[in-house]
Amino acid sequence: MSHLLEVKDLKKHFPLKRSWLGASTGRVHAVDGVSFHVERGETLSLVGESGCGKSTVGRSILRLFDLTEGEVRLDGERIDNLSPRQLRPVRQKLQVVFQDPFASLNPRLTVREALAEPISNFESGVTSEAMQSRVDKLLDLVRLPRDAGRRYPHEFSGGQRQRICIARALASKPKLVICDEAVSALDVSVKAQIVNLLQDLQDELGLALLFISHDLGIVEHMTHRVAVMYLGRIVEQGTAQRIFAAPKHPYTQALLSAAPGNAKAGKRIVLKGDVPSPVTPPQGCHFHTRCPYAFDRCRVEAPRLENQGDGHLAACHLQALPV
């Protein structure tokens, strides 16, 4: 059986604005050859610092813009080359929850109307009684009272609004939900409640989640696998257990050493310099300008993402050296 989601060599480059002389001023290499898959009912977390390209990966899968190169398959079907009309049935299976719940909801629609909208977009002939019961069921699923349906988004707290966005994403009965920094704007305690809710929904509905986050602390307790991104590329990928217990890539080691509340972290690794510009990413290993272990080969040859055992992948020349 095919993977639920399969992303192969995805590249997304954005052209920079032209100069006043009309010459192109380069391209932002936001995503530079990323491959991964998500299984049915699984959570894969895509993590990395802001600007590493993780949200661009999510938006490319959603086809909010066209890919520069690569393939995306959902349920075995290639979706990166579909027309907007052909994408309609795909959108039923693939939904998203963004970071800002207020911006995602129409302030003029009651919660009931906001939840009914995707149902009537994807299904025809739903009677008003059936619609009422579907909306009630969605409110139950996200643990909101049924009378919440009569109210407007501004009457809710940030956490409650995010529950409404999750209910709206679930209205079309998707197989995969992309959570793009979906808990980043929430208070710590509310964050934990929403993460618990997502885990419960996954168990209840068999949902798959692509959880995009810069917050490694949140990811550790809710994800099955992790893919770590740096400057448009995946540098490490594996089960949460392996990545958090024994990270192999120097960048992942640095990220984990800085994660708040990470009891397993040893001494904090402070990386030198800033993340280089994605307009002119460094040759060879993108991380070599900040890596404490960089050697000559790193500056000329990009390391491949290779299996280090049991499906734990890392892109680092050090892992290929004989011990």
In 10 A of CB 234, how many CB atoms?
A: 27
Contact segment (CB under 6 A) with ligand SF4 among 28-36, 66-74, 190-198, 287-295 equals 287-295
- Say how many C-beta atoms besides its own lie within 10 A of residue 261's C-beta: 9
Listed ranges 107-115, 168-176, 240-248, 290-298: which one lies at the site for ligand SF4 (CB under 6 A): 290-298
Q: Where are the beta strands (DSSP E) in the chain?
A: 5-15, 27-38, 43-47, 69-74, 77-78, 94-97, 176-180, 208-213, 225-230, 233-239, 306-307, 313-314
Q: Report if residue 303 touches ligand SF4, rule: CB under 6 A.
A: yes
Among 170, 183, 256, 294, which residue interacts with ligand SF4 (rule: CB under 6 A)? 294
Give the containing element (helix H, strand E) for 179. Answer: strand 176-180
Please pick, from the candidates 163, 175, 233, 288, the single residue that binds ligand SF4 as defined by CB under 6 A.
288
Selected from 109, 185, 265, 318, the binder of ligand SF4 by CB under 6 A is 318
Query: To the nearest whole angstrom, how small is the minimum distance from the Cβ of residue 257 to ligand SF4?
Result: 15
Q: CA-CA distance, 105 to 115, in Å (whole number)?
A: 10
Q: In 3-state terms, what secondary structure has residue 212?
A: strand
Cα maximum dimension of the chain: 69
In whole angstroms, give the CA distance from residue 255 to residue 166: 29
Stretch that binds ligand SF4, among 9-17, 169-177, 273-281, 284-292 (CB under 6 A): 284-292
Contacts to ligand SF4 from residues 111-150, by CB under 6 A = none
Nearer to ligand SF4, 164 or 243 (CB): 243
At closest approach, how far in Å is the CB of 60 from ligand SF4?
25
> Would you count residue 298 as binding ligand SF4 (CB under 6 A)?
yes
Site for ligand SF4 in 194-253 (CB under 6 A): 249-250
Among 291, 305, 312, 313, binds ligand SF4 (CB under 6 A): 291
Helix (H, G, I), strand (E, B) or coil at 106: coil
CA-closest candidate to residue 175, choices 207, 146, 199? 207
Is 46 near ligand SF4 (CB under 6 A)? no
Rounded CA gap, 245 and 227, in Å?
A: 15
Binding site for ligand SF4 (CB under 6 A): 249-250, 285, 287-288, 291, 293-294, 298, 303, 316-318
